[in-house]
Structure formats: structure tokens, C-alpha cells
Amino acid sequence: MAAAGGAHWSSRFAFIMASVGFAVGLGNIWRFPYVTGENGGAAFVLVYLACAFGIGVPILMSELLIGRRGQGSPPSAMANVAAANGRSRHWQWVGGMGLLAAYTIEIVYAVVVGWVLWYLFKAITTGFAGVDASIAEAEFAAVLDSNFGMLLWTLVGLAITGLIIYAGVKDGIERAVSVMMPLMFLLLLGLATYNIFAGGFGQAIEWLFTPDFSKISFSTVLAAIGQAFFSIGVGMAGMMVYGSYLPKSISITHSVLIIVVADTFVALLAGLVIFPAVFHNGLDPAAGAGLIFQTLPVAFAQMPGGYLFSVLFFLMLSVAGITSMVGLVESVNAWLEDRFKMPRHKSALLVVGSVACFSVFSILSYNVLAEYNLGGRNFNDTMDYFSNQILLPLGGLLIAVFAGWAMYSSATRDELSSLNSATYALWHFLIRFLVPPAVLVIFVMGVSE
């Protein structure tokens, strides 16, 4: 068996850039710093790191090794590995769950990326000079009321994503992420450095890095597990597909550690980009999703060099959004190539086109269809609940059980050959006895909300 399309990463750098790009998304950039500040600052970061390395890393390693060993789209990879280990090929449904999660997330996520691109356009063409809180709120409300505008910018985001996927793994994904991810890192570093001199930096440091262990509770630990699990991007099929493109010569373990450290670094660095501006201008750090679209434009209007800062900030967010969409779309695209032997250009058009069609329902849920709901949830809330509270934790749980209990230890040991015996024994223990119950708790807590 071969990876979908017979493609492989040309280097570990390309693989890591693609994986970090997939993991680092819009929610990661604004939500992680906010949750950190609300849950004890540095104390929460320590809990998060323990969860990321104790739970996220073992599952991520499992996804990659299944993808590489199975050499196919997630359902095929799971079925191939299951059969080779004397298990039922019905395990393919776990891979299918990941694809469904990716597709569901993409429908809603594409619209939010459209907002970011629209705001990048606003930043470039008109800037935010003279914008106060009421104007910023009215502008965002106008965005949510404009179905044509939201559809236009959603299609722009999907078109960029589609072109990258259409070009293939090496000519498309590799080339894009090898430019876009270093650019995002440079933009983050530049904007954070700017904030050292612009004001509010000290308050942001205190918000993010002052440990307050009195805020650590069971709910904090749950928040840390959830943030680690979703931030790294496990259970969405993307990492399994990226693993199928991974040559045997590249160490899964070393790559995963770099991915998780980079993901955490980006999240914390984003906090040093966003919160100095928030604190310096006396704005609300707990504004949630509205922080990006309603609060920060006010900060841009008040700061020296606000025009340049706003353009660079929304450019950085656009990169984060597009690279995450690439990973989500590629997982479904690889399945179409693998399952129906479809040429890449046709499968890319089919995935992007169908997401564009379904995204219309997501767009309308912000206005025309806002009152139509299922069990108290509108279309977007239902999609979010179904993917984040059900499919991702359940998929992660089953991947852990599969790697820890269904696969022969000789098979996992072969894929993790860079580990010494003691470190491999630690991974095997975690993936068998710690990760499943931890993810089960996330699942139960999620569905019982």
C-alpha cells in the first residue's frame, strides 16, 4: 500500500511546518492566552504542558504511526493496520469519524476564516482610524448581517485553500507552509517586540506568567486537558494523513515534540501580541471571540502605528486560518483519492465545492436562520457540539485504545524505533492506562453539559 497519491514529505522541516500549521488555528491564538489568564497564569501553563505531553503527545504519536504504517487515507490506514495485527477491518470507522469531524469543522471554520480575510481587507484599504467601541461593534454586526460579504470572503478563503491542495503535497502544501509558517512566526515575533515599547507589555506578562495556584481546581485541569487535546489537532484525521506522507527515516517522536512545543510557543507568543494592546487601551481581556473583531480594532485605532500593526496582525491570523484549513481539507481529499481513485484536481474541487455549499447554512445561521435550532442549538452550535464534544474526544479515545491494545507492541515499537526501551515503555503505559480514562472524562463532561 502507498500513501494517497504516492506522495511523501521531502523533509522533516516541511512535515513539521505543515503539522504546526494544521495545529495552530484561530481559536488557538486567541483562546489559549485568555484561558491561561483566567485559570492561574503560569500555574495553568504548567498543568497544560503536563496534559499536552502526557495526553496529547501519546495520541499524536499514535495517529502518525497508524498513518505511516497503514499508508492510506484514515479509514484505509486503520483497516490496513488492523488487518496486519489480526483485528477486524471495521476499525476503519474510527478513521471515518476523524474525516467526519474534519469536514464538520471545516464548514463552520471556513466562514470564520472569511471574517479574518475580510478584516485584513478592511485593515489594508481603510484601516481602523477613529474606530471606538460602538463603531467596532456596529461594524462586526454589519459583517454578520451581510450574507453576500460573508459568502464572498468564505469563497476567497476556500479558493486559496483549494489551490494549495490542488497543486499537491510537494508543489502545493509543502511550498505554501514552508513560506507561510516562517512568515507567521516572524510576524508574531515582530508584533510582540513592538508591544515591548508600545505599552501594556508588563501587564500581559503578569496575566500570562504569574502563577496563582489558588485558581487550580478540577475544572482547571479539565480545561487544560481539553485545550491540549484540541489545540494539538488530534482526532481530526489530518495528522493521520500527514503521517501517511511521512518517510520511515523521519522520527515520529522527535517531530511530535517539536510540533507540541511550537504549538504552545505560538499560543503564548500570541498572548504577548494581543494582550498588551488590550491592557494598554483599557479593553476587556475576556471578550472571547469578539476580542479579535470588536475589541482589537479599537486598540489599533488608538495606538501609534496602528495601521501597520492591524495589517500585520490580520495577515498573521489569515496564515493561521488558511494552514489549518489546508490540513482539514487534505484529510477528506486524501480519502476521495484513496477510496474512489479520483485524480487530485477533481477531489480538491469536490471537497472545496461541497464545503462552500454547506457553509451557506453556517453563514445564514448568523442571521436568517439564527432562530431555527435543534435542541436549543442553531446550525453552527450543532456542528460545533457534534465535532468538538463528540467526534474528537471519542475518536481520540478509540485511537488510543487501538494503538495501545489492538496493535502488537512489535508494530508500534517498529514505528517508534528512535525511542529507547524505557521511553517506549513510558509511551506504551500512557497510551494504555492514562490517556483513555483522561479522554473518556473529556467526552463524558462534554456530552453532559
Place of cell 499508508: 71
Using CA atoms, how far apart are residues 357 and 51, in angstroms rounded to an integer? 37
Res 1: pLDDT: 46
The whole model's pTM is what? 0.93
| 3-class DSSP assignment, residue 239 | helix
Q: Where are the alpha helices (DSSP H) in 126-174?
A: 133-145, 147-166
Q: Which helix (H) or strand (E) holds 42?
A: helix 42-51
Contact 276, 104 (CB under 8 A): no
Contacts of residue 381, defined as CB under 8 A and 6 or more positions apart, other chains included, come to 373
| 3-class DSSP assignment, residue 238 | helix
How many distinct helices (H) and strands (E) make up the chain?
Answer: 22, 0
Contact 268, 32 (CB under 8 A): yes
Grid coordinates belonging to 269: 507568543
| 3-class DSSP assignment, residue 371 | coil
Using CA atoms, how far apart are residues 432 and 37, in angstroms rounded to an integer? 32
Contact 18, 309 (CB under 8 A): no
First to last CA, the chain: 42
| 3-class DSSP assignment, residue 281 | coil
Using CA atoms, how far apart are residues 309 and 190, in angstroms rounded to an integer? 10
Place of cell 472545496: 352
Res 443: pLDDT: 87
Q: At what angle do helices 306-340 and 92-125 cross, to 10 degrees?
A: 150
3-state DSSP helix/strand/coil % of the chain, to nearest 5? 80, 0, 20
Q: At what angle do helices 218-232 and 252-280 cross, to 10 degrees?
A: 110
Strand intervals (E) in 138-245: none
Using CA atoms, how far apart are residues 299 and 285, in angstroms rounded to an integer? 12
Res 155: pLDDT: 98
| 3-class DSSP assignment, residue 377 | strand
For residue 203, the one-letter residue type is Q
Q: Which pLDDT tens digits describe the chain residue by residue (449 residues)?
A: 455 556 799 999 999 999 999 998 887 887 888 788 778 888 888 888 888 899 999 999 999 999 999 999 999 999 999 999 999 999 999 999 999 999 999 999 999 999 999 999 999 999 999 999 899 999 999 999 999 999 999 999 999 999 999 999 999 999 999 999 999 999 999 999 988 988 889 999 988 888 888 888 887 887 888 788 778 888 899 999 999 999 999 999 999 999 999 998 998 898 899 888 888 888 877 776 678 898 889 889 988 889 999 999 999 999 999 999 999 999 999 999 999 999 999 999 999 999 999 999 999 999 999 888 887 889 999 998 899 889 999 999 999 999 999 999 999 999 999 999 999 999 999 999 999 998 998 888 878 86
Q: Where are the alpha helices (DSSP H) in 245-343?
A: 252-280, 290, 296-302, 306-340
Res 217: pLDDT: 84
Using CA atoms, how far apart are residues 79 and 448, in angstroms rounded to an integer? 31
User: Between the CA of residue 323 and those of 12, 120, 293, 318, 346, what are the distances in Å?
Assistant: 17, 16, 20, 9, 21
* Residue 374 DSSP label: B
Convert 248-265 to b/e letters by CB count within 10 Å (16 or more is b). Answer: eebbbbebbebbbebbbe
Q: Which domains does the chain have, with CATH numbers?
A: 4-447 (1.20.1740)
Place of cell 499560543: 267
Contact 228, 222 (CB under 8 A): no
For residue 30, the one-letter residue type is W
Convert 292-326 to b/e letters by CB count within 10 Å (16 or more is b). Answer: bbbbbbbbbbbbeebbebbbbbbbbbbbbbbbbbb
Using CA atoms, how far apart are residues 367 and 310, in angstroms rounded to an integer? 27
Grid coordinates belonging to 270: 500570541
Nearest Cα to 36, choosing from 204, 161, 235, 162? 204
| 3-class DSSP assignment, residue 127 | coil
